[in-house]
Structure 1
Amino acid sequence: MGKIDFVILWVDGNEPNWQREFQAHSLKERGAKSSVRFRDWDNLQYWFRGVENYAPWVNNIFFITSGHVPNWLNLNAPNLKVINHSDYIPNDILPTFSSNTIEMYLHKIEELSEHFVLFNDDFFIINHVDKDRFFKKKFPCDISAFNVYHGRDLSTNNMCNIELLNKHFDKRKSLKKHFFKWFSIQNNKLLIRTLLLLPWPDFVGFYDHHLPQPFLKSTFKEVWEKEGDAISQSIKYRFRQRTNITQYLVRYWQLASGKYHCTNVFKDSVYFQIDQDNLNLAVNTIRNQSKKIIVLNDKENIDFENSKELINLAFSDILPLKSKFEI
């Protein structure tokens, strides 16, 4: 296996210049603008410590930002690449406050390796993880199962992705060609979803996990070559829209083309949408390091300050020492 890069998107929702631009453009354009997406849990340093301690094999870390960085970040760390949006996203759609836009142009970062893993800033590595958790035999490790999307969720945009995917892939041919991936025992109980949705002639959706996602840079390029006009039109807005084409299309493209290694991604990973009912379980998962990867998704109507304190105390217990990425 060759070089593997990590990519992480970050924004400080309290940064004054960012706030001014956000407010100015939010008056002009509709879109998803929930403040929960931008509030700071003050634990990004633990993301870097987790990578240094538990994934030391990583090649480069690409830190994607609108221009500001944490004041503790060591910009001279040897394998840290700080990338501004303006370094790779067209100027006419900047500033952007949409992760969909930021992610869909990642292939434009010249230094980025063919094999990379996309992280959100709430995806943490809390125990030793090997390269083959993300890539095996040069293919991204992923789980493949069908699902059905609906239009009730105002943030839903995957139907746009599926519509484009079906223009380029025949479902039945993909199933036949990659039979042992679609019907692998690694898909576990999700196999039932795939079996139930077999009668539909087209892809109607995929089961989506919310975990670090491995990608082939070449797949991004292929998708843009085939559907660049549609993609650029859909993500020209500064805020997330239901009509956005997203990085999920690239993931689905990898699945439909068989460019993945079937893996039970839930075996070593866990997702929490933090609330009062699961807060203690999330804290204990970190402290006991019972999983390798933990996702801590923010949720409205929680005791934010108390939750942040408990989560960060658990991180400090397992990762007390500064990493080379900290001043």
Structure 2
Amino acid sequence: MSKDRAYPIDFVLPWVDGSDPAWRVKKAKFEKEESSSVHVFDYQDWGLLPYWFRCVEKNAPWVRYIYFVTWGHIPNWLNINHPKLKIVKHTDYIPEKYLPTFSSHTIELNLHRIPGLSEHFVYFNDDTYLLKKVTADFFFKLGLPCDSAVINPIAPANKECIANLMVTTTGVINENFFKRKVIWKNVWKWFNIRYFPLVFLNLMFIPWKRFVGLYESHLPTSMMKSTYNEVWDKEYRLLDATCTRKFRDFKMDVNQWVMKNWQIASGKFMPRGIRCGKLIAIRSVDDAEKYSDIIKKRSYPMICINDHITDETYLEAAKIIKTAFDIHYDEKSCFEL
């Protein structure tokens, strides 16, 4: 822990091995009973997980612990004896009535129950990476999570997409907070030059009585356990219903965005620029070639590599991305055997 910070910060990384035979058998059993919003590419392994650990070791050596959340499977290359690594199984923290679960939403919404997890933690998806060196105050300042408060209208691409989660999440925020009070109580946090040019969206939507949505960057999120406890207390029925479903359902669920947006609406955050990271969607080999330069040049502190390839060409795309990572992260980390 640095001398200028009186609290530890942990990283949390959920991961699933979609090729695990035992897991697949159990998943198939419940798939017959329940519909889901799972895509064919959700369990593809691009072989990029080692780079996640390499990036953290080089770019955030100050992190206290990494909580690696798993159904039970562990990569055979992972050094489970690393002093900063904590292996957490679903059964270690998710209430028994929600198990087994194959929903990322259930895994996310119960993170505050992980034994030993610090009040301040950063939630990563396994497709998000730290490309540049960052200090602890990149994620937390004055004990508050860093984030961007930008009003952004929800525009679902289709009736089955993840944007439907934003609709429900926005409803939760509007039920519990008054938009104008929220903004005027923390004016400088909402009208902040760090959000340029998106700050103009906040000006544009001032006349609206309610929030029409909040900007989601699809990047690692700074969280506080106390926020989780508060939201569970206020919205137990919704969160319980989400967690009861074995598979995620975009039309009915909420996910960790409800925690993120609750922190923003309650003013418990510090402004951070929107150029803190970049979401790239890879739908083809050409996309992999196009966006690999962002990784090679480390153009942003953080990146999300959102894969959407539905056929075997994902292996070729993965090779291109690995080659890009190897420019700066070709050496094994201490988290690897």
* Structure 1 length-normalised TM: 0.95
Q: Give the superposition deviation at 1:276.
A: 3.7
| 1:193 counterpart letter in structure 2 | L
Residue from 11, 14, 23 that aligns with 1:18: 23
Aligned residues: 326
1:153 partnered with 2:163:
no
CA distance in 1, matches of 2:238, 2:296: 45
**1:295-306 to 2 correspondences below 5 Å:** 295-301=304-310, 303-306=313-316
1:180 to 2:188 alignment: yes
1:290 paired residue number: 299
Offset at residue 93 of structure 1 (A): 2.0
User: 1:272, 1:296 within 8 Å by CA — same for their partners in 2?
Assistant: yes
Pair 1:249 & 2:258 matched: yes
Do residues 67 (structure 1) and 77 (structure 2) align?
Answer: no
C-alpha contact 1:235 1:245 (8 A) present in aligned 2: no
SS of the aligned residue for 2:52 comes to helix
Give me the TM-score of the superposition, normalised by structure 2.
Answer: 0.93
Looking at structure 2, the residues matched to 5 and 222 of structure 1 have their Cα atoms a distance apart, in angstroms, of 20
Alignment partner of 1:319 is 2:319: no
Alignment of 1:153-302 (within 5 A): 153-154=159-160, 155=162, 156-241=164-249, 242-266=251-275, 268-274=276-282, 275-301=284-310
Q: Which amino acid aligns with 2:237?
A: D
SS in 1 for 2:231: helix
Asked if structure 1 preserves the Cα contact closer than 8 Å seen for 2:40 and 2:310, the reply is: no
Q: Matches of 1:282 and 1:226 in 2, distance apart?
A: 41
Out of 80, 96, 104, the residue aligned to residue 99 of structure 1 is 104
Check the 8 A contact 1:161/1:249 in 2, yes or no: yes
For residue 50 of structure 1, report the CA deviation from its aligned partner.
0.7
Look up the SS of the partner of 1:282 in the other structure: helix
The Cα shift of 1:150 comes to 4.7
- Give the whole-Å Cα distance in 2 for the aligned partners of 1:253 and 1:193: 19
CA contact (8 A) 2:53 2:335 kept: yes
Letter in 1 for 2:221: Q
What CA RMSD, in Å, does the superposition of the two structures yield over aligned residues?
Answer: 1.5
AA aligned opposite 1:17: A
Structure 1 residue runs without a partner (length 5+): none
Counterpart of 1:69, as a letter, is I
Match of 1:37 in 2: 42
Contact kept in structure 1, 2:285 and 2:314, CA below 8 Å:
no
What residue number does 1:83 align with?
A: 88
For 1:148 and 1:122, locate their aligned partners in 2 and report how far apart those are by CA, in whole Å.
25
Unaligned runs of 5+ in 2: none
Cα distance between partner residues in 2 of 1:293 and 1:175: 27
State the 1:81 CA deviation.
0.7
- How far, CA to CA, are the matches of 1:245 and 1:291 in structure 2? 28
Deviation at 1:92? 2.2
DSSP-derived class of the 1:35 partner: coil
Q: Distance in 1 between matches of 2:84 and 2:246?
A: 30
SS of the equivalent of 1:37 reads coil
Deviations 1:101-159 (A, max 9, x none): 10000111131111111101111112211111111111111111112225643131222
Bigger shift: residues 157-166 or 40-49: 157-166
Q: CA deviation at 1:237?
A: 0.3
What amino acid is the match of 1:93? Y
From 23, 33, 36, the equivalent of 1:28 is 33
Give the % identical residues. 39
Q: Partners in 2 of 1:167 and 1:294 — Cα distance?
A: 32
> Is the partner of 1:189 in helix, strand or coil?
coil
